[in-house]
Amino acid sequence: MNPILKNKILSIGLILAFILSSQSALAAQNSFFAGFRSALLSIIKTIDYWVSGFINYKEIQEENNVLTFQNRALKSLLIEYRDLKEENELLKEALQLKKTKDIDFILANIVGRSPLNFSQTFVIDKGEEDGIKVGQAVIWGGKTLVGEVIEVSKNFSTVRALTDTEFKTAVFVGDNKIEGLFKGNGFLDPYVDLVPLKEQVQEKDQVYTSGLDKKFIRGLYIGEAKSVEKPQDKIFLDIKIQPAIDWTKIYQVLIIK
Amino acid sequence: MKKSVKNFLKIFLFGLFIGILALAQISFINDLPILGVKINLVLIGILANIFNPSWTLIIWGAIIGGLIYDFTSLFNFTYLISFLILIILFRTIGRKYLVEKHLFLNFFFGVFGTLIFNFFYVLINYLFFHQNFFAYFLSWRHLIEMCLNGLGVFLFGLIAQIPSVIKANLRH
């Protein structure tokens, strides 16, 4: 066969094949294949979601940390907002706000937690070289108190969580700023002690540091009252606290310099 | 020469076993309390092998487990000391009065071992480091921990007997 004629026939054949295939593809939009295709795509999409979830696990965890942080930040901001509303305290609160703005933080990762049922402590990857000192407040989620630094070595520090039996700090309870002493209670709920029976404390009242013990700055959020009881044979209220942060579930903390 | 290599291998493998138990304890077991109580895997591992003929083996296990615990906790070596006291007490006094070993005795080793270990941990911390853990020690949760650790030691003993049971059955 003449090669020119052969090429012409091949070209026409290719054009026809293209037109036919595109027409059949258009016709297939509503056919059985379309349903099959969408089912396959949805399966691939599901697999993709799972795989990318596994691959991006770290990012998702970090994002979750950031969101938790922001959530707690909003809660602590709420306390400040309410404080600012109080006319008599306006000036003092403005001063406090300025003070908190001047605070420097050190970000640290939690690298170990107490393994058994006794102490409620954890180890962070920042130490003396990073400016950590014994007694510094450890926070997370804005200004939510997590614990205090109790031991510092060159590159690591040990932090006592606020649920530890040895943890104590002066606090305010509720809008009326009732003074009390917050105490950790190990595996049991922490509580606020030294609040006289005559004081009006309600469930869900927020508890935050008062700064009166000169241990921590004022306004670090601790949690809310879980239950309030008035024991007949005692002179102080029995106030159990639900901490705002479960320290066993966080992986990073901020240390106030 | 061959015997010493075998002994070294035994000690190394036991150390590795206790190390893995300690790492499991400080990582995921920490987040999985049973009835509100964390079991003590290293203690279970050591108590299940407490009457092993080799002293070195047990001491080595206690050092590894105790140190890993101490590194993630108060870092005052009280876990290590408590493990060593427990081993010395069990192997000196316990061995003297133990006439015959039995699988079910493992449960009691677990219960009393937990009691002794926790007692010394609380005592040393209170006397030397001003840490007060008596509330936990005197609570009903401590009883649960004792039972759970006892069950753990029993299970470890049971698992250790499986190969010998299979061998005995194969002979018959």
**Which residues on chain A are in Cβ contact (under 8 Å) with B139?**
187
CB A147 within 8 A of CB A164: yes
**Which residues on chain A are in Cβ contact (under 8 Å) with B113?**
none
CB A201 within 8 A of CB A177: no
pLDDT value of position A208: 93
**Which residues on chain B are in Cβ contact (under 8 Å) with A186?**
133, 135-136
Position with higher pLDDT, B73 vs B44? B44
- Report the half-sphere exposure of A114 (CA within 13 A, side-chain side): 23
**Which residues on chain A are in Cβ contact (under 8 Å) with B122?**
118
Task: Report whether pLDDT(B23) > 80.
Answer: yes
pLDDT value of position B142: 92
pTM: 0.68
Q: How close B74 gets to chain A, by Cα (Å)? A: 7
Task: Tell me which residue in B30, B36, B121 faces A187 most closely, judged by beta carbons.
Answer: B36
Optimal mutation site among B32, B72, B122, B138, interface A, most CBs of chain A within 10 A: B72
pLDDT value of position A93: 43
Which residues of chain A are modeled with pLDDT < 50?
87, 90-95, 97-98
State whether B73 and A248 contact (CB < 8 Å): no
State whether A123 and B71 contact (CB < 8 Å): yes
pLDDT value of position A98: 46
| Type of residue at A104 | D
Residue A239, φ and ψ in degrees, nearest 5: -110, 110
Give the list of residues 6+ apart from residue A198 with CB closer than 8 angstroms, or none.
Answer: none
The answer to whether ipTM exceeds 0.90 is: no
Please compute the mean of the pLDDT values over residues B95-121 and round it to a whole number.
86
Name the residue of chain A whose CA is nearest to B129's CA.
A166
CA separation for the pair A22, A94 (Å, rounded): 72
Give the list of residues 6+ apart from residue B105 with CB closer than 8 angstroms, or none.
Answer: B98
pLDDT value of position A181: 95
- β-strands A206-209, A137-140 pairing: unpaired
pLDDT value of position A94: 39
pLDDT value of position A155: 86
pLDDT value of position A61: 86
| Type of residue at B155 | L
Own/partner long-range contacts of A133-138 (Cβ < 8 Å, ≥24 apart): A135/A215, A136/A255, A136/A256, A136/A257, A137/A215, A137/A216, A137/A217, A137/A220, A137/A255, A137/A256, A138/A253, A138/A254, A138/A255, A138/A256
Please compute the mean of the pLDDT values over residues B84-105 and round it to a whole number.
82
